[in-house]
Amino acid sequence: MNLTLTDEELAFRDELRTFFTTEIPAELRERVAAGRPLGRDDIVTSQRILNAHGLAVPHWPVEWGGKDWTSVQRHLWLDELQLASVPDPLPFNTAMVGPVIAEFGSQELKERFLPATANLDIWWCQGFSEPEAGSDLASLKTRAVRDGDDYIVNGQKTWTTLAQHADWIFALVRTDPNAPKRQAGISFLLIDMKTPGVTVRPIKLIDGGYEVNEVFFEDVRVPAENLVGEENAGWSYAKFLLGNERTGVARVGATKVRIARAKKLAAQVRLGSGSLLDDPLFAARVAELENELLALELTQLRVVASSADGKPNPASSLLKLRGSELQQAATELLTDIAGPDSLPVGADGIDSPDWAQRSAPVYLNNRKVSIYSGSSEVQRQIIASSILGL
Partner 1 sequence: MNFELDTEQDLLRKTTRDLLSGVYDAETRNAITATDRGWNPEVWRQFAELGLLGLPFPEEHGGMGAGPVETMAVMTEIGRALAPEPLLDAVYTPGGLVAEVGSDEQRAAILPRVAEGELLLAFAHDEPGSRWPFTDVRTAATRSGDVWTLTGRKNPVLHGDCADTFVVSATLPEGGTGLFLVDAAAEGLTRTAYRTHDERRGAQLALEGVTAEPLGASDVADATDAIVAAQVRAQAALCAEAVGAMQETLRLTTEYLKQRTQFGAPIARFQALTHRAADMYVLLELATSLSLYATMALSDGIVDPTVASRAKLQVGRSARSIGQEAIQMHGGIGMTAEYPVGHYVSRLTAIEHTLGSTEDHLRVLAGAVTEHERVDVTGN
Instruction: List 157's β-bridge partners, or say none.
Output: 215
Residues 6+ positions from 174 with CB-CB distance below 8 Å: 140, 141, 142, 143, 144, 185, 186, 187
Q: How far is the CB of 191 from partner 1 (least distance, A)?
A: 36
Q: Which is nearer to partner 1, 173 or 321 (CB)?
A: 321
Q: Which is nearer to partner 1, 271 or 294 (CB)?
A: 294
Q: Pick from 62, 203, 305, 343 the residue near partner 1 by CB under 8 A.
A: 305
Q: Pick from 109, 169, 220, 293 the residue near partner 1 by CB under 8 A.
A: 293
Q: Which is nearer to partner 1, 43 or 303 (CB)?
A: 303
Q: How far is the CB of 307 from partner 1 (least distance, A)?
A: 12
Q: How far apart are CA 141 and CA 78, in angstroms?
A: 36
User: Binding of partner 1 at residue 295 (CB under 8 A)?
Assistant: yes
Q: How far apart are CA 312 and CA 320, in angstroms?
A: 13
- Orientation angle between helical segments 7-23 and 71-83, nearest 10 degrees: 30
User: Binding of partner 1 at residue 259 (CB under 8 A)?
Assistant: yes
Q: How far apart are CA 18 and CA 208, in angstroms?
A: 36
User: Binding of partner 1 at residue 101 (CB under 8 A)?
Assistant: no
- CA 228 to chain CA centroid, Å, is 22
Q: Pick from 122, 276, 296, 362 the residue near partner 1 by CB under 8 A.
A: 296
What are the angstrom distances between the C-alpha of 283 and each of 263, 296, 310, 333, 380? 9, 20, 39, 11, 31
Burial (0-12, 13-18, 19+ Cβ within 10 Å), 6 = exposed
Q: Pick from 33, 145, 283, 364 the residue near partner 1 by CB under 8 A.
A: 283
Residues 306-335 that bind partner 1 (CB under 8 A): 306, 315, 318, 321-322
Q: Which is nearer to partner 1, 121 or 290 (CB)?
A: 290
Here's the x/- map for partner 1, 370-389, by CB under 8 A: it reads as: -------x-xxx-xxx-xxx
Residues 6+ positions from 378 with CB-CB distance below 8 Å: 135
Are 89 and 57 contacting, i.e. CB atoms less than 8 angstroms apart?
yes
Q: How far is the CB of 24 from partner 1 (least distance, A)?
A: 19
Q: Which residues are catalytic?
A: 245
Q: How far apart are CA 173 and CA 127, in angstroms?
A: 9
Q: How far is the CB of 142 from partner 1 (least distance, A)?
A: 29
Among the residue ranges 1-9, 109-117, 118-126, 365-373, the one whose residues contact partner 1 (CB under 8 A):
1-9
Residues near partner 1 (CB under 8 A) are: 1-5, 9, 72, 256-257, 259-260, 263, 267, 277, 280, 283-284, 286-288, 290-299, 301-302, 304-306, 315, 318, 321-322, 377, 379-381, 383-385, 387-390
